[in-house]
Chains A and B, each alone.
Chain A
Amino acid sequence: MAAARRYLRAQWILLRGRREFWLLVIAIPSTSAFLYLSGAIAHAQPLDSSLDWPPEFVTMHQLARERDAFPQSVLSLLDSAAWVAWASAVLGALLVGSEFGWATIRTTLVTAGRLEGFFLAKVTSVLVIAAVLLAALVTLGSVLPAVAAVIGVAMVTASPVDWVGAAAYAGAWFVSAAVFGAIGLAFGTLSRSPVLGLIVTLVYITGENIVAQLPMWAPTGRPEGLVLLLPVQSTIQLVRHAATLAGRVDLGAALPEAPPFGVTSSSLLVPFAWVIGLVTVAVVVGARRDIAE
């Protein structure tokens, strides 16, 4: 326990000196808050009654206002947690890959036999940052409707939220951040370079999403089969499922042709398997490999 505390303290010294860290932890909550407030102000404007609005649009407008009001606002802010997942990927690649570029660091850790513990502390620190950011989003989702009301935004009554489901939704985003962080960690370790690891991580995540959007998945419009087992797609499944459990108001529900969202319970375990697998590979490969001559 004392060793874990020392490792985490060391990680804090490392983190607080990095501009990327401060940029991410400040930008994500502040941008989310700004987007929420600007959206709430825009949604509060009544539709021009002199125009003939399509009924779906009117429904979506109502749903958007509902999403701005507490308690739906908590889930709305959590929708921004995709950035938390991206931030975890960035930090995973940068924080861990760097140990291979700076030889004295690795030398000291290997000599001390502390490489595995140091890696795990890095993984933990990425998860702690993700948890803090998610908590910040939940807090903002609870507070900002009151702030919006103070600045004159008229709030409607929102649909109730299943709080257990909401906790599951936040938890699903946390797992998503862990998967993204583990991808960054694995590529950072395998490439032995923070920059290359980051590039490969971003290309991989984007590439997997592009593959999942290919027309070959028609007519359902959603990826199926093995694609759902890929790390990013499996977390998307998990997050969507948790959002449904939480009772999140879905704007897409206003569209008559909206495809039903289905998920198999077995696929919900896939992201956990990815986290364990990727972290294990990174730690074992990173800690066992000899230093390059």
Chain B
Amino acid sequence: MSTDAVPAVQTVGVSRRFGPVQAIDQIGLTVPSGVVYGFLGPNGAGKTTTLRILTALLRPDTGSVRLFGEPVQRGAAVLRRIGAAIERPAFYPYLSGRANLEVFGLVGAFRYRDPRAIDAVIDRVGLREAASRPFGTYSTGMKQRLAIGLAILGEPALVILDEPTSGLDPEGIVAVRELVQELQAQGATVVLSSHQLGEVERVCSWVGVVVRGRLIAQGAVDELLGQPETRLELASKADRERARELLAGAGASPADRPSGADEGTSLVLRSGATNHAVARLLADHGIYPTELAVRRRSLESLFLELTSAVRSGTGGGTG
């Protein structure tokens, strides 16, 4: 993935007010081409409003929106390169899932030339068994899958999914995850909003966090979460002190020094040193950790930190 290319999505100073409510305020999203971008935020933070603006369903009061470098407005040619599942999944209830996709294949942004494309999409979202049933008889999860199917029909370059795993069972959540990874592998950019932070962390390489209508953090997941930590549990305090000295004197860069310790027998390293190298160094000096684990700060903890900082009034900058 090259982040030097024209971003798939770029918004500058986008704001939108609904009556007295400032839904979003000066949102500046940048989604590099080819990434899976997780758009996170509490309920009512402005995620859906932002996604609607990206797809020209709403006009911003201020600011500009560009997709693949082209300005967005209703009917813009660039909108034909995107697929979106933003609203609640609602199709013609009396038509089958296949017939619904057929209708949109005919009148949607893209033009499907091969009816087999619809069958392929139905297979991808796991609706083959139910494809001939009326949409009105679908379960919530099946409706959601059909909406995702519609979003990916026509192989769009940008796929926007609002809460794609909402209403899905665990099997469905895994299927959506695999689908998103497949889309990325095929070169598509995916923007998805979700409350399932574990899922987002698994599939997204970039995230943006919006709270109270403002984008408070944005960037590559690895950068936002920082280096992974190596946690060592040693047999005694004496071992811990020796291990601290050994690791500090191992010629590591300052960042490789032990940065802190729990009370007792634990050591925490925030370094790029591999488990293998640490274990070898200590074993050579007769120190055998009882536990050696690499842990990374979770997206959930980052999200909670950021949102609580905004709520307590100590945060709010755009990352």
Asked if A104 is at the interface of the complex by the 8 Å CB criterion, the answer is yes
Asked if A110 is at the interface of the complex by the 8 Å CB criterion, the answer is yes
Q: Which residue of B lies closest to A10 (CB)?
A: B106
Please, which residues of chain B bring their CB within 8 A of the CB of A13? Answer: 95, 99, 102-103, 106
Q: Which of A14, A112, A118 contacts B92 (CB 8 A)?
A: A14
Asked if B303 is at the interface of the complex by the 8 Å CB criterion, the answer is no
A290 contacts B58, C-beta separation under 8 Å: yes
Shortest C-beta distance, B51 to chain A (Å), equals 10
A108 contacts B58, C-beta separation under 8 Å: no
Q: Which of A95-103, A148-156, A161-169, A215-223 contacts B (4 or more CB under 8 A)?
A: A95-103
B55 contacts A107, C-beta separation under 8 Å: yes
Interface residues on A, range: 20 to 34
With A290-B58, A290-B59: A111-B91 Cβ-Cβ less than 8 Å: no
With A13-B102, A14-B95, A111-B84: A104-B107 Cβ-Cβ less than 8 Å: no
Shortest C-beta distance, A184 to chain B (Å), equals 18
B109 contacts A108, C-beta separation under 8 Å: yes
Give Cα A215 to B158, complex, Å.
65
Asked if B82 is at the interface of the complex by the 8 Å CB criterion, the answer is yes
Q: Mark B42-55, 1 if CB is under 8 A from A, else 0.
A: 00000001001001
Q: Which of A6, A18, A113, A121 contacts B76 (CB 8 A)?
A: A113
Asked if B142 is at the interface of the complex by the 8 Å CB criterion, the answer is no
Q: Which of A106, A108, A114, A290 contacts B150 (CB 8 A)?
A: A108
B76 contacts A291, C-beta separation under 8 Å: no
B92 contacts A113, C-beta separation under 8 Å: no
Give Cα A4 to B268, complex, Å.
67
Q: Mark B241-284, 1 if CB is under 8 A from A, else 0.
A: 00000000000000000000000000000000000000000000
Please, which residues of chain B bring their CB within 8 A of the CB of A106? Answer: 87
Give Cα A104 to B85, complex, Å.
7
Give Cα A111 to B74, complex, Å.
7
Query: Which residues of A line the B interface, CB within 8 A?
Result: 6-7, 9-10, 13-14, 17-19, 98, 101-114, 117-118, 121, 290-291, 293
Q: Identify 9 residue pairs between A and B in the complex whose beta-carbon atoms are under 8 Å apart, listed by A's number.
A: A13-B95, A105-B92, A108-B104, A110-B55, A111-B79, A113-B75, A114-B107, A291-B52, A291-B57
